Structure 1
């Protein structure tokens, strides 16, 4: 009887895991599609045109590969997710592009893992800052390219401040913490190069709010990843 019970628990755990690795990417794509369809600048709407099933494949393969490699595949998985979400985002008739590769982050990721015990985990803020710089530095819009100058210390102060706000308000300050994070991201972000906005035409796409609801339920993001 005990063996049967253990087997059922393992099976249930696997089913939950499979459901999560399917629903999380579905929710992420749905939320991204909905939020961008409700965003505009200069009267021109953003849109997301990636197919959910393609992101599910990336998510399932990346999750399994990361598990079997004890997390070492994660930089490649993380970059593939970011590339998919960025390259399928549009502003009117012009697409955002991403030309980064996971291998560029593998070395810093491995070094961060090795230094984690000696830095009480604080080294991860420097890795996250480096990842932000890399992701934005390899994101372009037409002939213009983004550039982030964020470093570890400011990121550490931001997250420590947000954590303190959430603790002192029992979580009620979450909207303010989110606004602080967005303002922080843009403070260190620039777009460099020629930007021919007159050539961009309106090309709005309809989107369902279902993904937004799923994203809220599962607490996953779907807007522009600001880091």
Structure 2
């Protein structure tokens, strides 16, 4: 979630001491230079510069968010991110690698002991996903400052991690029907733990309003799957796969004299399979963007801060265009434009988030939560970072 704390406009008469909130995204010059220099330095340093690259991008994007005319600051450093990553690699992943190497050397690489160890470690790493997400959110909030007041997330990362792991287990067990309820539980947990200064956020609501949209998307996805699977079955019974087998036989035969047509058939069949798969992915993503928009809007309505409530104006089409634009930037620039992708995401959230009511900022005191100087090592090591 971007570090946006307040909304776009406010309505109503503010109480004594409170002020209406105006938030806007004001793009700053220089992001293109940052993108190019980050790419070159990452190339030269074999990606070790990425920690400082992230910091430069975040400082630029955070400073473009203005609340009541005053910019938000990002105070994290590349050094913190780097040492956080090193600590995780040395304390967690290096010992695991040494143990795995020792077991493979003693029992053999395909022994039951090695396989069991790999399964246990794989499961343990999955349980750490939620922990990594929570700790990364804690770090970013603690480095997000406005008017000298910083954010905080002083709750339990272990508790959140347990709920997150539970959501991963329940998903396949319920064919996905636990998703709205579990997403709400996770959002409630992390939002209620959030602070700006000493002032808490509050999140309260039910998952019921999400299920109508979820059901439509779930059955729509199943229908799309059945239709595309039907095309694949029709392709199979049309004799195309028999022709494919003959083509493979012909290509592998030394006496084949017309391998060109057989090769064309092979590539044609594979191209059809790829097209059907990509079509399914595109349809599925489009369908679920309607649910994602609904969830974002509902969760914003469930959130409170001081005397303010929030609204979010996400639509399926806006999410689709955001995603398509981001994919185009990444693909056609070979990843160099990644900072612009992050800017687009931040701008999307800032411009579509609004607040009702007013907030007495003068009454908010500095957070007393301890600053975590270990960065985001775990989420970086697990390659879960999305911002």
Shift of residue 40, structure 1, vs aligned partner: 1.0
Assess if the C-alpha contact under 8 Å between 2:289 and 2:316 holds in 1.
yes
Q: Is the aligned partner of 1:35 residue 2:140? A: yes
Q: Deviations over 1:185-225 (max 9, x none)?
A: 111111111211121111242233445111122233598xx
Distance, in Å, in 2 between the alignment partners of 1:24 and 1:64 is 13
What CA RMSD, in Å, does the superposition of the two structures yield over aligned residues?
2.3
Distance, in Å, in 2 between the alignment partners of 1:18 and 1:210 is 24
Distance, in Å, in 2 between the alignment partners of 1:26 and 1:186 is 26
Residue of structure 2 in register with 1:110 after alignment: 215
Distance, in Å, in 1 between the alignment partners of 2:373 and 2:383 is 15
Shift of residue 125, structure 1, vs aligned partner: 1.3
Residue in structure 1 matching 2:289, options 100, 125, 131: 125
Assess if the C-alpha contact under 8 Å between 1:40 and 1:46 holds in 2.
yes
The change in CA–CA distance for 1:171 and 1:195 in structure 2 (over 3 A counts) is same
Distance, in Å, in 1 between the alignment partners of 2:153 and 2:178 is 27
Q: Is the aligned partner of 1:220 residue 2:369? A: no
Q: Deviations over 1:33-71 (max 9, x none)?
A: 111111111111110011012112211222222221122
Residue of structure 2 in register with 1:21 after alignment: 126
Distance, in Å, in 2 between the alignment partners of 1:221 and 1:102 is 27
The gaps in structure 2 that reach 5 residues or longer are: 1-109, 225-281
Shift of residue 15, structure 1, vs aligned partner: 2.4
The change in CA–CA distance for 1:178 and 1:101 in structure 2 (over 3 A counts) is same
Q: Secondary structure at the match of 2:215?
A: helix
The change in CA–CA distance for 1:202 and 1:155 in structure 2 (over 3 A counts) is same
The change in CA–CA distance for 1:114 and 1:87 in structure 2 (over 3 A counts) is same
Residue of structure 1 in register with 2:320 after alignment: 156
Distance, in Å, in 2 between the alignment partners of 1:6 and 1:186 is 53
Residue of structure 1 in register with 2:203 after alignment: 98
The change in CA–CA distance for 1:7 and 1:105 in structure 2 (over 3 A counts) is farther
Q: Secondary structure at the match of 2:376?
A: helix
Alignment of 1:7-86 (within 5 A): 11=116, 14-86=119-191
Assess if the C-alpha contact under 8 Å between 1:32 and 1:222 holds in 2.
no
Greater Cα shift, 31-40 or 10-19:
10-19
Shift of residue 158, structure 1, vs aligned partner: 1.0
Q: How high is the TM-score relative to the length of structure 2? A: 0.52
Q: Deviations over 1:115-173 (max 9, x none)?
A: 12448221111111111101111111012011111211111111100011111112222
The change in CA–CA distance for 1:14 and 1:128 in structure 2 (over 3 A counts) is same
Greater Cα shift, 162-171 or 10-19:
10-19
Distance, in Å, in 2 between the alignment partners of 1:42 and 1:64 is 42
The gaps in structure 1 that reach 5 residues or longer are: none
Greater Cα shift, 109-118 or 50-59:
109-118
Shift of residue 106, structure 1, vs aligned partner: 2.5
Q: How high is the TM-score relative to the length of structure 1? A: 0.87
